[in-house]
Amino acid sequence: MALQVILGFDNSASMQTRDGNATRMQKAKELAGPIIQKACQLDPNGPDVYSFGGKVTYLGNITADQATVKLNTLAADEYSTKLGEFLIEAFRRARGMIAEGDSVLVLIFTDGAASDRSVVKREIINMSNSITDDSQCALEIIYFGDEAANYLRELDDDLQNQGAKFDIVDATPIEEALRLDLEQLLDKAFND
């Protein structure tokens, strides 16, 4: 059984917000670089990478050598945060990987509450209910700022009370994620 990695980058306009001397998008790219390097060791094909804002864009499988170039093509747009639309695509792909016997980590970098909150909840609950073991899929949300912290904590802590079979979501503030190495992040995603 291999670990497959699906990365999603929020490229909504709010990702241009400056926190200190860098934008949230710059910080996401900085953190993603080492994660992609390690993910390529765990996922030989490289992670599947998407951006989402007003639309979902598939950037392809990214190898360690391509990571910097692909990440530099990401730019914030002026649209909303269509996290739910990204999850529809990511979980569709994840189900195929799980059917092949792999486990899947969906790793998201975002700073805001989704524009399509009901879709987000529905998709997470449906994914949770479609797996037979909670080691098959984990959703790790690394977030910037505190505007959406309560919403993301609800996704992390309360979906089993709303019908999800497993708690597959972990939400981690960027400051905490930067202190973790990839193994710790994986452990947190699958076991927290």
| Domain limits, the chain | 3-191
pLDDT of 149 > 90? The answer is no
Name the superfamily (CATH) of residues 3-191.
von Willebrand factor, type A domain (3.40.50.410)
Strand-pair category, 137-143 with 48-52: unpaired
Q: What mean pLDDT is reported for the chain?
A: 86
What pLDDT does residue 1 have?
64
- Give whichever of 74-88, 123-137, 143-157 has the largest mean pLDDT: 123-137
Instruction: Kindly report, residue by residue over 4-38, the tens digit of the pLDDT.
Output: 999 998 888 888 888 888 888 888 887 777 777 77
Residue type, 150: N
What pLDDT does residue 73 have?
78
How far is 190 from 157, CA to CA, in rounded Å?
Answer: 14
pLDDT of 78 > 70? The answer is no
Instruction: Kindly report, residue by residue over 90-108, the tens digit of the pLDDT.
Output: 999 999 999 999 999 999 9
Radius of gyration over alpha carbons of the chain, in Å? Answer: 15
Q: Which residues pair with 105 in a beta bridge?
A: 5, 138
Strand-pair category, 22-23 with 18-19: antiparallel
- The percent of residues in the chain predicted with pLDDT above 90, rounded, is 35
Residues 109-120: what's their mean pLDDT? 86
pTM: 0.90
DSSP-based helix, strand, coil % in the chain, nearest 5: 50, 20, 30
Model confidence band, residue 74 (pLDDT cutoffs 50, 70, 90): confident
Instruction: Kindly report, residue by residue over 170-184, the tens digit of the pLDDT.
Output: 999 888 887 887 788
